[in-house]
Structure 1
Amino acid sequence: MPASAVSLVSLEQMCALIGGRLQSVEVQQCLQAGLRVGDGASVHGLPLLYRDYPPTSQRAFPRRILLIGGIHGDELTAVSVVFRWMKQIETERFQPFQWRVLPSTNPDGLLRQPSTRVNANGVDLNRNFPSVDWQTDALDYWQRRTGRDVRRYPGPSALSEPETRWLVAQIEEFSPDAIVSIHAPYGVLDFDGPDEPPEQFGYLRLHQLGTYPGSLGNYAGVNRGVPVITLELPHAGIMPSERQSRKIWTDMLTWLEKRLPEQAPPQTDRLENLPWESQPWH
């Protein structure tokens, strides 16, 4: 996995930190989740964890789903529900997808007291992705449209942050057919990318929030053509019930199976069709 920084903390230490911060995730649960320390780390050297799940069904070309939690560190449920769904993936008897799960992608923000939306450099990671419009619009949008809101600072440049560089590396390496990103607390279903969006997953109904310079939906959904499903849970600190989260999960899997039927991969790699000359990080 491509490197962005060196982790200074072991998996055991990281699980102790996560378990100490989240009431819904026990230390032992984290340790038993099969997570691995990625070849990258946060600003403060905390490991960026991941786990790959192969499909349990016999398919020649299983579709790939990237599941991301905790881009905003103060959205605690966005991390906790990913751990819940990791257990769900393990128990699925018929699992047609290949998953890569990144449960906590802003650990510095999560573990601060109090937790913060931004990372340790004060950057909103969900405004730091290298969307085509970042160079021309990101800082101007932040200044004029948000009034220099410190919670939405996009950074000095696209990909300035090690966490964002690592996330982009996962997208390039894993080449997902869809991305699911968990947030809170708007209580809606958002969607960016090609094709018609889903109308409802569980109690989350479609309400498209729009794209922003440097957002994951803009970068992956609009620029790269990878469907990005954003699940905005209703509360940042109160977990949905088991029943509610299971319904969201099953509705999402049903939609993904219809949206991503098995087929042989195209002869031309998706990356070859990108407008590289317009990308500010190239």
Structure 2
Amino acid sequence: MLRTLGLFVTAALIALSGCRSATEINVTAPEPPQSVPESYSIIGRSLDGRGIECHKLGNGYEHIVFVAGIHGSEPAGVPLSRQLGAVLKANPELLLNKTIIIVNNANPDGLAKGQRYNNNGIDLNRNFPARNHTTKRDRHGERPLSEPESRALFDLFRSLPRKPSRVITLHQPLVCIDYDGPEDITLPLAEALAEAANLPVKKLGSRPGSLGSWLGVDQQIPTITVEFYKSDTQLSDDELWQRYGDMMLTAVTYPRKPGPRQVPRSSKRFRTGN
């Protein structure tokens, strides 16, 4: 009797599944996207009218944000973040269930002039509405979000449908992985990136009005500050990717390590300057 019932159930499952065997039902893993949904947008303009470009790849639930070039005298992150977009587009399996947002040059006037500040002489990474913002120093701005470049980033984060799972900012020249946010989540992430980049983890402290203070401390979003070597500015785009590409991809795939992937050949479109 039981054997007859079992055969009946198996037959019914096969019929309902379109004549597949019972072992095939609901066991197929989601397929990675064969093409990458992507878009470019201008999220704001600098004081001199240069566009602040945002590159969005994927359409998954988890959001990860990269910000480079917020200090114009720290340019190494700009070609790295552009190359990241190219590598992700060539390897769509890395984007499964993810949306990656890349702001590859948050301070275009500063980058064009090789200066830390924007054209008002304001440190954009001290101009966010963190609880520790202070106007005691002229370089922080007379009020939070006094600058168009910081407002563009603020509006971008406010426009996201949910809090990002992590934010990665690219700087020079303190040679470490710094972090802000809930310790139990952010420290293991920092350690994974440090291992991939061969950089030490250091807790530098939350700077007043910084992205780390606003997002990491106030909103408890895991926020990583990658500090490259000063000399990394002298590396070619390919050399930068060879040194830090694993770290950039680990920031996307964490807690998994990135596997083998295609790396498009770099060209002048990934260069900084001009």
TM-score, normalised with respect to structure 2: 0.69
> Following the alignment from structure 1 to structure 2, what is the Cα–Cα distance between the partners of residues 249 and 39?
23
Is the alpha carbon distance of 1:223 and 1:35 closer, same or farther for their aligned partners in structure 2, counting shifts above 3 Å?
A: same
CA distance in structure 1 between the aligned counterparts of 2:65 and 2:240, rounded to whole angstroms: 23
Matched with 2:100 is 99
Where does residue 167 of structure 2 map in the other structure? Answer: 179
Question: 1:188-221: CA deviations, max 9, x gaps?
Answer: 1111011331222321221121101101100000
Q: Give the stretch that moved more between structures: 158-167 or 200-209.
A: 200-209
Name the counterpart of 2:204: 209
Q: Which residue of 1 aligns with 2:111?
A: 110
Cα offsets for 1:221-271 (capped at 9, x unmatched): 00011111111111252335432212212433343559xxxxxxxxxxxxx
Corresponding residue SS for 2:56 = strand
Is 1:227 matched up with 2:225? no
RMSD (Å), alpha carbons: 2.0
Contact 1:52 1:101 in 2 (8 A): yes
Query: Is the aligned partner of 1:191 residue 2:179?
Result: yes
Helix, strand or coil: the match of 1:252? helix
Give 1:86 shift.
1.3
Is the CA contact 2:178–2:204 (under 8 Å) kept in the aligned structure 1?
A: yes
* Aligned-partner residue type, residue 70 of structure 1: G
Say whether the 8 Å CA contact 1:126–1:214 is kept in structure 2. Answer: yes
The match for 2:130 is 131
- Aligned-partner residue type, residue 98 of structure 1: T
Instruction: Name the structure 1 match of 2:48.
Output: 44
Q: Counterpart amino acid of 1:109? A: G
Question: Equivalent residue for 2:79?
Answer: 80
Contact 1:37–1:49 (8 Å) recurs in 2 = yes
In the superposition, relative to structure 1, how do residues 44 and 250 fare at CA in structure 2: closer, same or farther (>3 Å)? closer
**Percent identity between the two aligned chains:** 28
What is the SS of the residue equivalent to 2:102?
Answer: strand
Tell me how far apart the structure 1 counterparts of residues 158 and 111 of structure 2 sit (CA, whole Å).
25
User: Which of 224, 230, 238 is 2:234 aligned to?
Assistant: 238
Q: Quote the Cα distance in structure 1 between the aligned partners of 2:211 and 2:256.
A: 22
Partner SS for 2:52: strand
**Residues 70, 183 of structure 1: 8 Å contact kept:** yes
For the residue of structure 1 that corresponds to 2:150, the secondary structure is: helix
Q: Is the 1:54–1:98 contact (alpha carbons within 8 Å) kept by the matching residues of 2?
A: yes
Distance in structure 2 (CA, Å) of the matches to 1:51 and 1:195: 29
**Structure 1 runs of 4+ with >2 Å offset:** 34-37, 238-243, 249-258
For 1:242 and 1:52, the matched residues in 2 are separated by 20
Per the normalisation by structure 1, the TM-score is 0.67
1:218 corresponds to which residue? 213
Partner of 1:164: 150
SS at 2:117 equivalent: coil
**Structure 2 portions without partners, runs of 5+:** 1-37, 258-274
Aligned counterparts of 2:68 and 2:153: Cα–Cα separation in 1: 11
Is this contact kept in 2: 1:179–1:226, CA < 8 A?
yes
